[in-house]
């Protein structure tokens, strides 16, 4: 029972962090048709910006400034990079973001060094929020939960209840029509790209001290974010949300399951001592999201809630 | 156009490599070069970086005292990114630069790849052999079934350390159940195997309530693992984790308010004490060949102080680097120069007076036998670690002789 509850809370927090990262990516993907390989790099930039700004101004100012900076970097990339390359087709854009991810990683290494930086949880939030089954629950995780939910509500409100949200939704599917109506579609693209990068930056700010801030953090997070976009379905924020939570729960639950292959396939004659029989579900936890990706592409190529195939 | 550019680039790259090789080759006449092959980037970069600082410090001290056989010792760093495949590339680079000694210490999987590559290289290039100083890869197979003549292990292998740690657990009758957690590769597997075997022999009353292998340097949040350990009701945890896996495991345990003893190999290694803080006092125990509060001579303490003054953000840890250079000096002098087979033969069975007692390079398997310390995180210490105000305090001394476990190594020696 307690395992279940802890896995639920931890899965929820990890899932919401994933959603914050992938919501921008899925919007950019459906709008421009570009899988932005550098998206997780903005997550990393957010964490490093917050570390540097935070060491001068404290965490709370960094919480606002760092995502804005990451968003500004994203806007610049779109305005002077992607927009020019757009004419050369999707492959050129894909290669551009691929190269960009490596450039950002190297720049981070040059500026902040190869090693992890001591980006820590602010002292105000470094206490335990409550005790559950004899285990303390850190307040910072609850804070992450609130930030994520706040972001979720504002994003939903912006897209579904405001005029700019309606235009963005229209530009997703009918860019030419929106342009004919007098809207500046390239500028909308830039704004969405910047907002997506800012969200990734925000995920970096609150995820960087919860996890570890190091130059490989983008590379470690990147593949998972793609899984979310594919499983959720192209252009579907609701799909990305469900997929994020699904992967969050899947990974945290799997860790607590000690059943081995021999227990499951014992009826087929798999011995407990054999090389395959010894593998437990817990040790498979890191692979499960990618297994989900492969199965999803085979069974339902549109993703959970997407309308187009990849 | 692009094609031309590419070939142009390749050509200049080849030229640069060739030029580098030539300069390195001529320089090796006056200096004794040791290739450092460990991660300086990637998830384990911090461990590699600190190890390199110790090597350079030990080399400086050796050079101040006249060097080895009249030659200055110089470390050449090769970044293997913690990856066995990259290690082979970097080793080849070292060999191409005319380097005859390589040192590595982060990750048993890397040590295994390197010891294989060294053996192959030495069989193919008689007269141009390489000797491998392993100061951290402690998978027991390296000094048992996969031992070879050119590999020298200066850290004590998993079985040797587990012998010491379980001797200590034998003195703690209150512990009735343990949970074992380790990294999912050769080292972690042998850690769990050794722990299960030795606990069953020495403390059959202890129940092992769980043994877990987790991915190496990939888990960023250990909370699910810690909660699993807590709900298993374990009264103590045994872990072989090192590097970020040790730091993050302890960080998650502290955040969850877990209050059971952790018996570790690397509780005192870099980053872990800062992550532990006050909540770990009296709970984290390690077994090691060195800790800062081990009884030592004033000269040894002065050496530690000098290191920490030179690198204010790093605590002194790898005493082994001095052991390697000290024994290498004696071996080179005995062999009368850098004659690789003679140097390796001189190292076999050599005894050396270290600051904490006599150490012996056992000839049977090239495993260094040294006195070990079992020590626990405490606030009652003279020298703290990582500016925490806390440090490690000796609980028990383990003599070198008592750790001399039998080996299955069939050493093949060249003529």
pLDDT at B28: 42
pLDDT at B155: 94
Mean pLDDT of chain A: 86
- pLDDT tens, position by position, B172-191: 999 999 999 999 888 999 99
Whether pLDDT at A256 is above 80: no
Counting the structural domains of chain A, the total is 1
* Residue B157 in tokens: 């292998």
Which residue's structure tokens are 């998978």? B139
Restricting to A residues 82-111, those with a Cβ less than 8 Å away from any Cβ of B are: 109
> A255 to chain B nearest CA, in Å?
7
Whether pLDDT at B349 is above 50: yes
Closest-CA residue in chain A for B39?
Answer: A114
Contacts B40 to A, Cβ<8 Å: 114
The SS3 assignment for B353 reads: strand
Name the CATH superfamily, with its identifier, for domain B159-294+372-403: Response regulator (3.40.50.2300)
β-strand pairing of B101-104 with B72-79: unpaired
Whether pLDDT at B114 is above 90: yes
- pLDDT tens, position by position, B14-39: 444 444 444 443 334 479 999 999 99
Average pLDDT over residues A210-224: 85
How many Cα atoms are found within 13 Å in the side-chain-facing hemisphere of B221?
24
Closest-CA residue in chain A for B254?
Answer: A136
Would you give the DSSP letter of residue B32? E
Which residue's structure tokens are 């960087």? A208
CA angle B19, B24, B27 (to 5 degrees): 130
Distances in whole angstroms, Cα of residue B361 to Cα of each of B325, B345, B358: 13, 11, 10
Interchain contact B193–A (C-beta under 8 A):
no
> What is the rounded distance in angstroms from the CA atom of residue A167 to the CA atom of residue A244?
26
Q: Which residues contact A19 (CB under 8 A, 6 or more apart)?
A: A148, A152, A228, A240, A241, A244, A245
pLDDT at A48: 96
Contacts B45 to A, Cβ<8 Å: 114-115, 214
* Residue A164 in tokens: 């700019």
pLDDT at A276: 73
Does a structural domain hold residue A155?
Answer: yes
Closest-CA residue in chain B for A215?
Answer: B42
Q: What proportion of chain B, given as a percentage, has pLDDT over 70?
A: 93
Average pLDDT over residues B79-106: 94
- pLDDT tens, position by position, B365-385: 999 999 999 999 999 998 888
Q: How many CB atoms lie within 10 A of CB B22?
A: 11
A99-113, A129-143, A201-215, B204-218: which has the minimum mean pLDDT? A129-143
> What is the rounded distance in angstroms from the CA atom of residue A304 to the CA atom of residue B10?
47
Whether pLDDT at A61 is above 60: yes
Which of B352, B240, B234 has its CA nearest to residue B288?
B240
**Residues A220, B220: C-beta atoms closer than 8 Å:** yes
Given a contact cutoff of 8 angstroms between Cβ atoms, the answer to whether A74 and A234 are in contact is no
Does a structural domain hold residue A12?
Answer: yes
**Torsion angles phi and psi, residue B100, rounded to 5:** -105, -10
Interchain contact B248–A (C-beta under 8 A):
yes
**Residues A114, B213: C-beta atoms closer than 8 Å:** no
> So where are chain B's domains?
29-156+316-369, 159-294+372-403
> What is the rounded distance in angstroms from the CA atom of residue B273 to the CA atom of residue A97?
39
Does a structural domain hold residue A273?
Answer: no
Helix or strand run (H / E) with residue B392: strand B391-398
Whether pLDDT at B323 is above 90: yes
Closest-CA residue in chain B for A210?
Answer: B221
Q: Which domain holds residue A31?
A: 2-213
Residue B9: band (very low, low, confident or very high) from pLDDT cuts 50, 70, 90: very low
Contacts A208 to B, Cβ<8 Å: none
Whether pLDDT at A124 is above 70: yes
Higher-confidence position of A228 and A234: A228
Closest-CA residue in chain A for B244?
Answer: A212
**Residues B228, A3: C-beta atoms closer than 8 Å:** yes
Average pLDDT over residues A81-93: 86
Which of B217, B210, B251 has its CA nearest to residue B232?
B210
> A40 to chain B nearest CA, in Å?
16
Q: How many CB atoms lie within 10 A of CB A206?
A: 29
pLDDT at A284: 79
**Residues B46, A115: C-beta atoms closer than 8 Å:** yes
* Residue A267 in tokens: 């009826």
A128-142, B342-356, B390-404: which has the minimum mean pLDDT? A128-142
Strand ranges of the sheet holding B31-38, from the earlier edge strand across to the other edge? B72-79, B31-38, B101-104, B131-134, B151-153, B367-369, B357-362, B351-354
Whether pLDDT at B8 is above 50: no
Contacts B220 to A, Cβ<8 Å: 211-212, 220
The CATH fold assigned to B29-156+316-369 is: Rossmann fold (3.40.50)
> B46 to chain A nearest CA, in Å?
6
pLDDT at A308: 64
* Residue B99 in tokens: 């380097």
**Residues A256, B224: C-beta atoms closer than 8 Å:** yes
Interchain contact B218–A (C-beta under 8 A):
yes
Does a structural domain hold residue A123?
Answer: yes
β-strand pairing of B372-378 with B177-183: unpaired
Distances in whole angstroms, Cα of residue A113 to Cα of each of A45, A119, A275, B42, B278: 13, 14, 41, 11, 29
**Residues A136, B255: C-beta atoms closer than 8 Å:** yes
What does pTM read for this prediction? 0.80
Does a structural domain hold residue A281?
Answer: no
Identify the bridge partners of residue B238 per DSSP, sorted by sequence position. Answer: B180, B263
Whether pLDDT at B2 is above 60: no
Contacts A92 to B, Cβ<8 Å: none
Residue B195: band (very low, low, confident or very high) from pLDDT cuts 50, 70, 90: very high
The SS3 assignment for B378 reads: strand
What is the distance, to the nearest Å, from the Cα of residue A185 to the centroid of all Cα atoms in its chain? Answer: 25
Average pLDDT over residues A20-28: 86
A248-252, A273-277, B278-282, B346-350: which has the minimum mean pLDDT? A273-277
In chain A, helix, strand, coil percent, each to 5? 75, 5, 25
Whether pLDDT at A235 is above 70: yes
Closest-CA residue in chain B for A253?
Answer: B224
Given a contact cutoff of 8 angstroms between Cβ atoms, the answer to whether B393 and B284 are in contact is no
Interchain contact A135–B (C-beta under 8 A):
yes
Residue A170: band (very low, low, confident or very high) from pLDDT cuts 50, 70, 90: confident
> What is the rounded distance in angstroms from the CA atom of residue A76 to the CA atom of residue A97?
13
Does a structural domain hold residue A280?
Answer: no
pLDDT at B10: 47
Which residue's structure tokens are 């001591």? A118
A34-38, A161-165, B303-307: which has the minimum mean pLDDT? A34-38
Restricting to A residues 13-32, those with a Cβ less than 8 Å away from any Cβ of B are: 14
Restricting to A residues 181-210, those with a Cβ less than 8 Å away from any Cβ of B are: 210
Does a structural domain hold residue A138?
Answer: yes
pLDDT at B16: 47
A26-30, A179-183, A240-244, B117-121: which has the minimum mean pLDDT? A26-30
Given a contact cutoff of 8 angstroms between Cβ atoms, the answer to whether B40 and A114 are in contact is yes
**Residues A10, B223: C-beta atoms closer than 8 Å:** yes
Does a structural domain hold residue A262?
Answer: no
Average pLDDT over residues B185-214: 93
Mean pLDDT of chain B: 88
> What is the rounded distance in angstroms from the CA atom of residue A44 to the CA atom of residue A50?
10
Mutate to test the interface with B, among A44, A212, A251, A253 (most CBs of B within 10 A): A212
Restricting to B residues 194-213, those with a Cβ less than 8 Å away from any Cβ of A are: 210, 212-213
- pLDDT tens, position by position, A259-278: 777 777 777 777 766 667 77
- pLDDT tens, position by position, B145-181: 999 999 999 999 999 999 999 999 999 999 999 999 9
Residue B4: band (very low, low, confident or very high) from pLDDT cuts 50, 70, 90: very low
> B200 to chain A nearest CA, in Å?
19
> What is the rounded distance in angstroms from the CA atom of residue B347 to the CA atom of residue B305?
30
pLDDT at A221: 86
pLDDT at A30: 75
> What is the rounded distance in angstroms from the CA atom of residue A248 to the CA atom of residue A250?
6
Given a contact cutoff of 8 angstroms between Cβ atoms, the answer to whether A178 and A14 are in contact is no
Q: Look at the alpha carbons of B323, B324, B326, B331 in this order and tell me if their dihedral is positive or negative.
A: positive
* Residue B358 in tokens: 């006599």
Whether pLDDT at A32 is above 80: no
Q: Note the ipTM here.
A: 0.76
Higher-confidence position of B157 and A118: B157
- pLDDT tens, position by position, A91-114: 898 899 999 999 999 999 889 877
> What is the rounded distance in angstroms from the CA atom of residue A251 to the CA atom of residue B159?
33
Whether pLDDT at B1 is above 70: no
Helix or strand run (H / E) with residue B7: helix B2-27
As a three-state string, the secondary structure of chain A is CHHHHHHHHHHHHHHHHHHHHHHHHHHHHHHHCCCCCCHHHHHHHHHHHHHHHHHHHCHHHHHHHHHHHHHHHHHHHHHHHHHHHHHHCHHHHHHHHHHHHHHHHHHHHHHHCCCCCCCCCCHHHCCEEEEECCEEEEHHHHHHHHHHHHHHHHHHHHHHHCHHHHHHHHHHHCHHHHHHCCCCHHHHHHHHHHHHHHHHHHHHHHHHCCCCCCCCHHHHHHHHHHHHHHHHCCCCHHHHHHHHHHHHHHHHHHHCCCCEHHHHHHHHCCCCCCCCCCCEHHHHCCCHHHHHHHHHHHHCCCCCCCCCCC
> What is the rounded distance in angstroms from the CA atom of residue B50 to the CA atom of residue B53?
5
């Amino acid at each position: 029972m307690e395992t279940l509850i802890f896995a639920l809370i931890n899965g929820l927090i990890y899932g919401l962090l994933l959603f914050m990262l992938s919501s921008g990516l899925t919007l950019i993907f459906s709008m421009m048709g570009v899988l932005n390989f550098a998206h997780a790099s903005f997550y990393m930039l957010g964490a490093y910006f917050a570390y540097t700004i935070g060491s001068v101004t404290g965490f709370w100012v960094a919480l606002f400034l760092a995502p804005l900076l990451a968003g500004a970097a994203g806007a610049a990339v779109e305005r002077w990079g992607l927009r020019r390359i757009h004419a050369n087709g999707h492959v050129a854009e894909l290669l551009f973001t691929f190269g960009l991810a490596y450039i950002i990683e190297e720049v981070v290494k040059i500026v902040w060094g190869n090693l992890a930086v001591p980006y820590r949880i602010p002292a105000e939030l470094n206490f335990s929020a409550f005790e559950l089954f004899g285990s303390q629950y850190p307040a910072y995780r609850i804070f992450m939960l609130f930030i994520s939910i706040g972001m979720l509500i504002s994003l939903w409100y912006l897209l579904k209840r405001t005029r700019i949200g309606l235009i963005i939704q229209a530009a997703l599917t009918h860019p030419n029509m929106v342009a004919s109506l007098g809207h500046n579609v390239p500028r909308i693209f830039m704004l969405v790209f910047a907002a997506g990068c800012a969200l990734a930056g925000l995920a970096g700010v609150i995820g960087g001290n919860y996890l570890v801030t190091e130059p490989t953090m983008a590379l470690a997070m990147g593949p998972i974010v793609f899984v979310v976009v594919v499983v959720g379905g192209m252009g579907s924020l609701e799909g990305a949300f469900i997929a994020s939570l699904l992967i969050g729960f899947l990974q945290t639950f799997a860790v607590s399951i000690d059943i081995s292959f021999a227990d499951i396939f014992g009826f087929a004659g798999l011995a407990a001592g054999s090389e395959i029989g010894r593998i437990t579900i817990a040790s498979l936890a890191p692979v499960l999201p990618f297994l989900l990706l492969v199965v999803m592409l085979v069974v339902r190529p549109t993703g959970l809630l997407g309308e187009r195939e990849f | 156009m692009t094609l031309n550019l590419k070939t142009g680039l390749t050509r200049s790259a080849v030229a640069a490599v060739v030029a580098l090789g030539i300069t390195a080759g001529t320089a090796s006449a006056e200096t004794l070069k040791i290739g450092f092959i460990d991660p300086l980037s990637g998830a384990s970069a911090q461990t590699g970086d600190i190890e390199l600082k110790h090597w350079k410090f030990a080399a400086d001290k050796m050079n101040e005292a006249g060097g080895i056989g009249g030659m200055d010792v110089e470390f050449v760093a090769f970044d293997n990114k913690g990856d066995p495949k990259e290690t082979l590339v970097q080793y080849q680079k070292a060999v191409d630069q005319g380097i005859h000694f390589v040192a590595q210490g982060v990750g048993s999987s890397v040590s295994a790849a390197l010891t294989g590559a060294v053996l192959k290289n030495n069989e193919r290039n008689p007269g141009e052999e390489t000797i491998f100083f392993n100061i951290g890869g402690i998978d027991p197979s390296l000094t048992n079934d996969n031992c070879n003549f050119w590999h020298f292990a200066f850290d004590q292998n998993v079985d040797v350390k587990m012998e010491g740690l379980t001797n200590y657990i034998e003195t703690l009758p209150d512990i009735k159940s343990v949970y074992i957690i380790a990294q999912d590769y050769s080292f972690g597997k042998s850690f769990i195997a050794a722990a299960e075997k030795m606990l069953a022999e020495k403390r059959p009353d202890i129940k092992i309530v769980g043994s877990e292998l987790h991915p190496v340097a990939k888990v960023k949040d250990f909370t699910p693992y810690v909660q699993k350990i807590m709900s298993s009701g374990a009264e103590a945890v045994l872990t072989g984790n090192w590097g970020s896996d040790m730091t993050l495991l302890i960080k998650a345990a502290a955040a969850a308010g877990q209050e059971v003893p952790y018996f570790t190999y690397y509780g005192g290694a870099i980053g872990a004490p800062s992550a532990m803080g006050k909540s770990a006092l009296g709970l984290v125990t390690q077994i090691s060949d060195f800790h800062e509060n081990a009884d030592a001579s004033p000269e040894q303490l002065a050496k530690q102080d000098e290191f920490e003054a030179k690198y204010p953000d790093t605590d002194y840890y790898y005493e082994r680097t001095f052991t390697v250079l000290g024994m290498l000096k004696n071996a080179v002098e005995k062999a009368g120069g850098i004659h690789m087979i003679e140097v390796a033969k001189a190292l076999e069975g050599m005894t050396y007076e270290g600051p904490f007692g006599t150490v012996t390079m056992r000839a049977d398997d090239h495993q260094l036998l040294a006195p070990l310390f079992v020590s626990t995180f405490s606030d009652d210490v003279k020298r703290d670690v990582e500016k925490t105000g806390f440090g490690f305090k000796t609980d028990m001394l383990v003599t070198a002789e008592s750790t001399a476990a039998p080996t299955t190594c069939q050493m093949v020696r060249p003529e």
